Amino acid sequence: MKKVSSKLSIIVPCYNEEEAIPLFYPEVEKAKEKMPEVEFEYWFVNDGSTDNTLLELKKLNKKDPQHVHFVSFSRNFGKEAGLFCGLQRATGNYIVVMDVDLQDPPDFLPKMHQLLAEGNYDCIGTKRADRAGEPPIRSFFARLFYKLINRISDTTIVDGARDYRMMTRQMVNAILSVKEYNRFSKGIFSWVGFKTKYLEYSNKERSAGTTSWNFWNLLQYSIDGIVAFSDVPLNIAAFTGLFSFIGAGLAIIWIITRAVIFGDPTSGWPSLVCIILFVSGIQLFCLGIVGKYIGKIFLEVKHRPLYIVKEEK
Ligand code: UDP
Ligand code: MG
């Protein structure tokens, strides 16, 4: 094995993880022992937890104040904000982002570091080998989402890629230069480019606690991803409008011609009502799509900070 001395920053977003943190830290420490040539720092981000997460982080910080740091937000700002904050704080030449629930196995760290240090890649990512253990309905929608977004966006988002990845300083600087407010990390990681190698592993159960995702916020997350990385929905709205306009125009010509030739017996009210409902439905749907983008622009132009820090060590 080639000896390299480097510094690795570990970014860990935590939301209500009081039970998972005490299980996570020793596992990473164990992995650390296999890489004696590497200096470490931790950046835990407490994303407005309502349990004793902050207390647990303070305990770790007290144990090893030189290497364990934490940032505590004033409220829950979401995992994306936590990741961004951690990346901003990291000082290492290699940076890894991982979940605290041990679904991202720490024993991958030496291998990831070794691969990066060899210099052939800028990022060592991870993806799930399969979707075993996942509810079938979630797998179905996840697959649908990846198919859809990869078809309508120029940025490729690898199916099953996890956020667990180790990156070079250069790549992290590129990610930090992406200043958008609506951060869809899966997309941004891919958008900045650089060479990524994916390691695979099967789904793991959470070490403790419960996932903060449910069907609705996953759906919202998917829509946010699509809106952030594709304007195809806007084109669909525009073309739907165009086609229904042309269709209606042709229908009008036909109806007038028919009335002139055959007279105009008043009939066809039910079909008229159906057409009005159909077309106004399309209009509202398209307005909704446009509104979604305008909403994102609104959030973007306000230039609000991504997070507010309450405490930091
Ligand atoms: N997380 C966070 N803020 C949130 C939700 C989640 O910082 O608002 C953290 C959470 O503590 C965990 C990681 O993001 O370390 C992944 O969350 P989770 O395990 O709930 O997601 P899943 O693994 O089920 O996709
Ligand atoms: Mg998890």
* pLDDT for the residue numbered 3: 55
Q: What is the pLDDT of residues 57-80, one digit of tens each?
A: 999 999 999 999 999 999 999 899
User: Quick check: helix, strand or coil at residue 252?
Assistant: helix
**Two tokens, residue 225:** 């991803």
- Band (pLDDT 50/70/90 cuts) for residue 2 is very low
Nearest Cα to 98, choosing from 24, 34, 31? 24
DSSP code for 212: S
Residue 133 has pLDDT above 80, yes or no: no
User: Using a 6 Å cutoff on CB, does residue 47 contact ligand 1?
Assistant: yes
Burial class (CB in 10 A: 0-12, 13-18, 19+), 47: buried
Pocket test for ligand 1, best of 49, 99, 214 (most atoms within 8 A of CB): 99
**Are residues 209 and 167 both part of a single domain?**
yes
**Are residues 58 and 195 both part of a single domain?**
yes
**Are residues 56 and 175 both part of a single domain?**
yes
Evaluate whether residue 250 is within a structural domain.
yes
Burial class (CB in 10 A: 0-12, 13-18, 19+), 46: buried
Evaluate whether residue 312 is within a structural domain.
no
Nearest Cα to 97, choosing from 1, 217, 195, 11? 11
**Are residues 202 and 252 both part of a single domain?**
no
The pTM of this model reads 0.81
Q: Report the Cα–Cα distance between both ends of the chain, in Å, rounded.
A: 35
Question: Are the C-beta atoms of 84 and 306 separated by less than 8 Å?
Answer: yes
Mean pLDDT of 120-134: 86
Please give the residue range of the domain that contains residue 111: 6-213
- The more confident residue out of 204 and 84 is 84
Q: What's at 43, amino acid-wise?
A: W
Number of domains composing the chain: 2
* pLDDT for the residue numbered 239: 84
Pocket test for ligand 1, best of 14, 15, 128 (most atoms within 8 A of CB): 15
Calpha distance 76→70 (Å, rounded): 15
- The more confident residue out of 252 and 57 is 57
* pLDDT for the residue numbered 273: 78
Calpha distance 215→225 (Å, rounded): 15
User: Using a 6 Å cutoff on CB, does residue 104 contact ligand 1?
Assistant: no
Share of the chain above pLDDT 90, in %: 43
**Are residues 206 and 237 both part of a single domain?**
no
Mean pLDDT of 45-59: 93
